Chains A and B, each alone.
Chain A
Amino acid sequence: MMSLETEIKKIWYMILTNFWTQALFVVGIVMELIGITIGAGSYFFLTKVFQGTATVMEKYNTDVVSFIIIGLALNSMLSQSFIGFYNSLAVSYFNRSLERILISPTSVYTLFFSQMVSAYLFGLVRAILYLVIGALFFGLNINLSVMSVMLAVLVFLLGLVATNGLGMLLSLFFFYTHKGKGAANPIIMFAHTFADTFSGATFPVEILAKYTPWLYPISIFLPQTHTISIIRIILAGQGLSNPSALVSVFYLIVFSVVIVPIGYFVVNSGIDRVRKEGYAVTGGVVVY
């Protein structure tokens, strides 16, 4: 009979494995830290040079540097939610932890959950670094009242669930393309870059409606766009009084209710497909 304590301990072991694997790449971690500082600094100096008041910024009621740093910090986590499920599948397929779980009485979702928690932890560290560096060096300005923070956390959790649902749908490219189980999947790479760019992390997506109207609907389809937008508004001290924020919250709820069950179905049938097709083989032949 499994207990909650056992489940938590399993997840802890799985997270530890991911942590040690990441810790092997010390240079990568240092480079990431440097990258975050340089990234935030570049945006800071760029905005100092081109400081202006675009009308699309009015709804956010904040300065450009804070706008960008909040966007980058949130995107660090949302990006994990979007791509984390696919990565978790790909890694556990190749290191055969998926197979180990499938033959044990443990649910495969325990593995996925632990992989996602690991990904979120790394994303969280990155997000905190953005906020700390932003606050220390680049004049980050956010409303840290208890109410704002609590509301932002709630919306953020809702955003993570919705984005994760979309991430589960992305696992289609793992299960149904032979390339998906091989090296980096170009479709996933494209989707990742696209979402990072057009979810409004570094610029207000409303600008897309004016210059690239065909991109705008795709951008506002992404739950990341709504999550980042609402949290910016909340952290600028407006709460949920802004009607566009309420519409976005509603969108995230509907998106989660519709997409998460579909994602769950896709993953379950995908796992059966993996069990039908077998596992990674070596030697220039790919079994799909």
Chain B
Amino acid sequence: MVSLLHYAVEISELTKRYKIIETKQGEERNWLTKLMLGESFAGHIEVREKVVLDHINLKVKEGECIGLLGPNGAGKSTLLEIISGAVLPDEGTVNVMGCDVVKEREKAKKYLTPILPVLGVNNMWTARQNLEYVALLYNIPKQEMKKRINDVLDRVGLKERADENVIKYSSGMRVRLILAMGLIIDNPVYLMDEPFIGIDPGTAKEIRKFVKNELVEKGRTILLATNMLADVEELCNKVALLNEGKLVVVDTPSNLKKKIKGIETIDLEILTEEDSSIIKALENLNGIKTCLYSSGTSDGLDVTFIKIHTYDSKSLLPSLIHTIYSMNGKIRYVKIYEPTLEDVFIWYTGRRLSE
């Protein structure tokens, strides 16, 4: 009997709310409150509810690599935590290979390979010991364990230094080890939460290539939470844009770019401190669809970064330059290009990924 086709991951109306306690400065509290809340605290607390995931619906087919793309706080990690079974949802359901992660938690775990760098590695152990620990946690039989560990160490290129304490490892090697800790489990659905964070671009590229060859092309189902465009562009065949707990859109990267076809992006750096009058003037120009700005430094200089979306950059550019110069702003850099996935994100949400 052929089993009915089911999705590797099926998320339906998933909602998660957190109560958040914020300390606010203000009225002095009595000694008991201070004792309970901390000596230095002389304010009051406010409890508010935050919707971290808001009625998320998502279906991931077996063998798909889907990028969960969104800025910090979009809900990506919480989504992965719920799928992994570490966090309980408030509403909705999540099925992994047909198993409900709440009702059939133990069964669902057998299909999952979590790669969550936030859980870290044990620095005082060797890579081999870290891998053995994970293998034990996942009840990998003794006979198979040694073989798998050697195989995985070889694949991630840590075989030569497998018996060194992890504390001596570079950040790139640690990321390889974290990947190895997933590869040793190798259940069909991989949950990866920002696996390439904190490493230099060269190493990140190399490790992405490894993930592509070893996981994506070998048909593993992957949910990859990231705010790095390169991760999605190189690895994912689908992208789910998340913003403030809402799933904005899901599609292939090329289809998403097509959705804003005709749009061009202009990036500008102007030598001035953030000046709302210039921004206001730019926003009022004809032909501007969206205009985002932020302050920062470039080559040690204080600059304002401006990102503009327009349907006709050639017509807009002269008036843009004229407006900036007429208000004593100096242009340091201009670039016009076809929209990227970040532009798609801005188009849908009005926010940058790096916010």
A residues neighboring B (CB under 8 Å): 1-3, 5-6, 9-10, 13, 16-17, 20-21, 95-97, 99-106, 178-179, 182-183, 186, 272, 275-279, 284-288
Contact = CB atoms under 8 A, between A and B. Distances in A.
Interface of B: 18-23, 35-38, 78, 81, 84-88, 90, 106, 109-110, 112, 114, 116, 118-120, 122, 124-125, 129, 132-133, 136-139, 141-142
Contacts of B136: 6, 9-10, 13, 106
A100 B21 contact: no
A139 B101 CA distance: 61
B142 A6 contact: yes
Contact of A278 (B81, B110, B132): B81
A13 B133 CA distance: 7
A9 B129 CA distance: 12
Q: Which 9 A-B pairs have the closest CB atoms?
A: A104-B137, A103-B84, A20-B124, A2-B139, A275-B88, A10-B136, A106-B137, A276-B88, A287-B18
A278 B137 contact: no
B18 A277 contact: yes
Contacts, number: 92
Contacts of A95: 120
Contact of B86 (A106, A183, A279, A284): A279
Contacts of A21: 124
A272 B86 CA distance: 10
B109 A285 contact: no
**Main secondary structure on chain B at its contact with chain A?**
mixed
A285 B86 contact: no
Contacts of A285: 20-22
A285 B19 CA distance: 10
Nearest to B112: A103
Contacts of B36: 179, 186
Contact of A99 (B119, B129, B137): B119
A105 B18 contact: no
A6 B116 CA distance: 24
A13 B128 CA distance: 12
B286 to A, nearest CB: 41
A284 B112 CA distance: 32
B139 to A, nearest CB: 5
Contact of A96 (B85, B119, B132): B119
Contacts of A104: 109, 137-138
Nearest to B109: A105
A1 B133 contact: no
A288 B132 CA distance: 33
B304 to A, nearest CB: 26
A9 B138 CA distance: 12
Contacts of A186: 35-36
Given A6-B136, A9-B136, A186-B35, 6 more contacts: A3-B142, A6-B139, A13-B136, A103-B112, A179-B36, A284-B22
Contacts of A276: 87-88, 90
A106 B138 CA distance: 7
Contacts of B88: 272, 275-276
Given A103-B112, A105-B109, A105-B139, A278 B18 contact: yes
Contacts of B86: 99, 102-103, 275, 279
Contacts of B110: 105
Nearest to A177: B36
